[in-house]
Structure 1
Amino acid sequence: MITTPLTDALVRGAAELEATARGVRPHRLPAWVRDRFPDPQLMTAQSRPSGVRVVVATLARAVELVLHPSAVSYRGVTRERGSVDLVVDGELVASHLLDGGDHAEVDVLTGAREFREGPTFTARFDDLPAGDKVVELWLPHNEVVDLIALRTDEPVLAAEPAGRIWLHHGSSISAGSNAATPARTWPAVAARRGGVELHNLGFSGSALVDPFVARVMRDRPADLISVKFGINVVNFDVMRLRAFVPAVHGFLDTIRDGHPTTPLVLMSPLFCGAYEDTPGPGGMDLDALAAGEVVFTAGRHAEPPQLTLRIIREALAEVADRRDDPDLHHLDGTTLYGEQDAVAHPLPDALHPDTATHELIGERFAGYAFGPGGPLRR
C-alpha cells in the first residue's frame, strides 16, 4: 500500500490542521479563536470534524484511513459511535463504524469524568469502482479524530473542487447531532444534492451569534453563505430581544465586510416543541437519563421578555426585512421541519432530528436553496 501524507491539499472543510503526537487534528476554527476564547463546549464542538473529509483523485480500488478517535459518552447511556463514510464521485457508497480510540465517560449528575485510552483504528474500504474517480472519506461528525495515515493501492492526487463553496453556520443540528453517519447530516445531504463544496461551521451548543465566528466567515472563501440562529440562544438563555437583534445585525455586517454581494441565507429555527413558547435555560431530563435515555427539556418559568423560538423567528424575519441587501434571503426554519413534521418525524431526544429527518431537512434545503430560482443557485 502507498502511504500519502495528510495535508491541507487533501483535507477539505477544515480551517487548519494541528500537528499532534499521533498525526494531524482537523480544527474548524482557526488557532486565534481557540486561543482567545477556549470555552470547553466550543472547543470540543469545533474539534469534531463535521463536514470535514479527505478528498483525492485516484485509480485505487482499496483505501485505508488510519485515525485515532476520541469519544465522549454519558454514564448509563449507550451512544452510537462515529463513522467514516466513503463517497465516490458524489455518491455515498459505504460506511465504517469506528472502534477503539480514547473514551471519556461523563457522569451528568456529578460532573465526574472517567478517561480510558484505546487503540488506533483503521477504516478500510475495498472493491472501489474501477477507473479514475474522486474518493471522499467523510470524518465522523461526533468524535474528535487525529488523522495518522492514508493508504491506497494506487497513487492519489489532490482533487479539483467539485463546485462552489457553501459556508454554513449553525448549531448541533447543523453539526449533525443524532444523524447516524457524517455524510447523512442535513448539510451534507444538501451539499451533494446542490453539487457544492460544504464548509460546515455547525457547532453543538455554540451558535450564539459570536463575533469571532462572523470574522472567521468574513475571511473564509465562500461562494454561498447561510447562517442559522435560534435554538442555542434560547436553550442557553444568553440574550434578551434587545441584545439579540443588534447582535444579528452586527454578525451580518461583519460577513458583508468580506462578502459584500455573496448570496446569504438567514435561517430561523426548525420546529422544536419544547422551546416554541417556553424559554431556556434547557437541560437534560434526569429521570430519562436514569433510565438510559437522553431527553432535553426547556425552562419551567416562561416570562415574556425571555426569548423563545417563535419570538426569534419573528425577530429574524424583521432583521432580514430591514436590511437593504438584495442578496440576503430569509428562510423560515419551519419550512424545513415544522409542527406537522414533528408528528410524523418526532425528535428522539426532544431536540435533535434522527437520520431520516436529517435527510428530509437536507432535501428540502437543497430544493429551496439550489433548485430552480433558488437564492444559492447562481
Structure 2
Amino acid sequence: MTLRPRPRGDVINTWITTPLTAGLVRGAAELERTEHGLRPHRLPARARAQTPDPQLAMVEAQPSGVRISFRTRATAVELDTLATRRVYAGLPPRPHGVYDLLVDGHLTSRRSVAGGATLTIDMATGSTSHQPGPVGTVSFTGLPDTDKDVEIWLPHNEATELVALRTDAPVVPATGGDRPVWLHHGSSISHGSDAASPSTTWPAVAAAAGGVDLINLGLGGSALLDPFTARTLRDTAADLISVKIGINLVNADLMRLRAFVPAVHGFLDTIREGHPSTPLLVVSPIYCPIHEGTPGPASFDLGALRDGRVEFVATGDPADRAAGKLTLRVIREELARIVAQRATDDPHLHHLDGLGLYGAADFADLPLPDRLHPDAAAHRRIGENFARLAFEGTGAFAAHRSGRG
C-alpha cells in the first residue's frame, strides 16, 4: 500500500494505492500476471490449454460475475484498467463495457472507462486483428464517509486487465460474511449477453435475491459439456451448483442424441466427484422459437447484417430430428428424464424446466431482440424467476438461502 498526494480541484488529497491481489478479487478462477497488471480468468490455465477454440478464449477472459471487493471508509475510488473491446466489421460500434459500483449490496453508480485495446472480428471470414490501446481510469466519488462494503463489478462482456486501485482511505478485503457460494455454468445467456450491466445479468439478479455469493461460469457460445469445464466445476469450492444445458449444443450442431445423453451423465459424474452431496440443479433451456423444433446450426441472418443488425436464424431441417439431431424440445425432455433417473440415487440432484424462467408468454411480452439472447428487461425477469423457483419455497436451494441480500 502506497500513499501519494493527488490534486482534486483546489484541494490536495492523499490517495492510497493498494496492490491488486487475489484477496480483493472475487468470482475468478485465477489471475494471470501481465505486463500491465492482472487479467482475471474464469477457467484455470489447465482447462484453457485443452482447447484451441478462440471463442472460448475470448469469453472466459470476459469477467462476468468478477468483482473487486473490499471494506473501507473511502469516499472516492479510482480503478485503472485496460479493456479489450470487440468490434465487428461492418456493424456499428458496441457500447463500452460497464463497471457497477455496489455499496453494502446496493447499486449506486455505473461508469465506463476510456482507452483500451480493440479486437476487430470479421464474421464473414472469421479473421481477427488486435490493436493496442492505453490504460483508462474509472472513478467513483461521493461515497458515504462510513465503514462499508464496496464492490466494483467488472464488465461482463469485455476482457479487462486490472492495473491499479486507489482510494482516499485504507481498504481491507471483504470477507463475504456468511453467504453461501453459488457456482453457476451456462451459455451466453448466463454469461450476460445483452444485459444492461454486470450486476444485472440474470445470475447476478438471482444471486442478490437469494443472498448468495456468485461465481459465474457462463461462457458465451461455450456451454458444450466440455470435460475441462466439468473438472473446473468439480474443483471449485461451492455450496450450491447449477448447470444450464442446451442452447449451445443446438446452435453449434455439436452432437447427436446418442452422444448427448452419455455426455450429460459424464458431466454430472465429474461434478459429483468433487461435490458428492452439494445441491446440484440441472436447468434446461429457456424458450427460443428458432430452435424449439428446428436443429442447428444457427447462423447470422445475412439480410439483417446487410441492414446493420445482428439477428440469428436456424439452418437445420426439422426432419433431421429422426436421425438424432438436437432441438430445444428434445433436450428439455432428455434432461428431465436423466435427472429423474439419477435422482433415485442422488437426493441432492434437482431439475428446473427453463420454460419456467422464460417461456412462450415471456417471449410474447419481452421478445428476444436478436432471436437468441434476452435483453436487459428479460434478464431481470429470468433472474427473478430463478430466485423464486430455486431459492424460495421448496426450491432446490431454498434451505441454503442466506438471510443477507
TM-score (norm 2): 0.91
What is the aligned partner in structure 2 of residue 234 from structure 1?
250
CA distances 1:76-115 after superposition (whole Å, capped 9, x unpaired): 2222221111011111111112332011222222334343
Distance in 2 (CA, whole Å) between partners of 1:38 and 1:56 is 36
- What residue ranges of structure 2 are gaps of 5+ in the alignment? 1-14, 400-405
**How do 1:109-124 residues align onto structure 2 when only pairs under 5 Å count?**
109-124=124-139
The one-letter code matched in structure 1 to 2:394 is: G
What is the aligned partner in structure 2 of residue 336 from structure 1?
357
* Rg larger for: 2
What is the aligned partner in structure 2 of residue 147 from structure 1?
162
Distance in 1 (CA, whole Å) between partners of 2:52 and 2:31 is 17
Distance in 1 (CA, whole Å) between partners of 2:52 and 2:325 is 27
Distance in 1 (CA, whole Å) between partners of 2:302 and 2:54 is 22
What is the aligned partner in structure 1 of residue 30 from structure 2?
16
CA distances 1:202-254 after superposition (whole Å, capped 9, x unpaired): 00110001111111111110000000000000000111111111111111111
What is the aligned partner in structure 2 of residue 199 from structure 1?
215
Match of 1:216 among 217, 228, 232: 232
Distance in 2 (CA, whole Å) between partners of 1:106 and 1:314 is 36
Distance in 1 (CA, whole Å) between partners of 2:395 and 2:296 is 34
Matched, 1:42 2:61: no
Q: Secondary structure at the match of 1:99?
A: coil
Distance in 2 (CA, whole Å) between partners of 1:112 and 1:248 is 32
Farther off after superposition, 224-233 or 107-116: 107-116
- What residue ranges of structure 1 are gaps of 5+ in the alignment? none
Match of 2:268 among 211, 228, 252: 252
Match of 1:104 among 119, 139, 146: 119
Matched, 1:347 2:372: no
CA distances 1:247-304 after superposition (whole Å, capped 9, x unpaired): 1111111111111111111000000011001100111111111111110111142212
Query: What's the CA shift for 1:340?
Result: 1.1
Match of 1:159 among 163, 171, 174: 174
What is the aligned partner in structure 2 of residue 292 from structure 1?
308
Q: Is the 8 A contact 2:86 2:119 kept in 1?
A: yes
Distance in 2 (CA, whole Å) between partners of 1:372 and 1:312 is 26
Matched, 1:372 2:383: no
Query: How much identity, in percent, do the aligned residues show?
Result: 57
Match of 1:95 among 110, 120, 124: 110
What is the aligned partner in structure 1 of residue 75 from structure 2?
61
Distance in 2 (CA, whole Å) between partners of 1:153 and 1:26 is 25
* RMSD across aligned positions (CA): 1.1
Q: Secondary structure at the match of 1:36?
A: coil
Distance in 2 (CA, whole Å) between partners of 1:111 and 1:158 is 42
What is the aligned partner in structure 1 of residue 99 from structure 2?
84
Match of 1:273 among 289, 309, 312: 289
Farther off after superposition, 90-99 or 225-234: 90-99
What is the aligned partner in structure 2 of residue 310 from structure 1?
329
Distance in 2 (CA, whole Å) between partners of 1:219 and 1:191 is 21
Q: Secondary structure at the match of 1:360?
A: helix
Distance in 1 (CA, whole Å) between partners of 2:204 and 2:338 is 28
Farther off after superposition, 78-87 or 196-205: 78-87
TM-score (norm 1): 0.98
Q: Secondary structure at the match of 1:168?
A: strand
